[in-house]
Amino acid sequence: MKVKVISIPVLDQEKALQFYTEKLGFVKKIDVPLGGGTRWLTVVSQEEQDGPEILLEPAPNHFEPAKVYQQALFEAGIPWTQFNVDDTQKEYERLVNLGVEFSIQPTEMGTVKVAVFNDNCGNNIQIVQML
Give the pLDDT of residue 58. Answer: 95
Give 64-85 pLDDT, tens digit per residue: 999 999 999 999 999 999 999 9
Give 2-16 pLDDT, tens digit per residue: 999 999 999 999 999
**Sign (positive or negative) of CA dihedral 115, 18, 73, 46:** negative
Cα of 89 vs its chain's centroid, Å: 18
CATH dotted code for 5-130:
3.10.180.10
Q: Write down the pTM of the prediction.
A: 0.95
- Rounded to whole angstroms, the Cα distance separating 114 from 99 reads 18
Ordered by start, the domain boundaries in the chain are 5-130
User: How many Cβ atoms sit within 10 Å of the Cβ of residue 74?
Assistant: 17
**25 within 8 A of 94, measured Cβ to Cβ:** no
Give the pLDDT of residue 38. Answer: 95
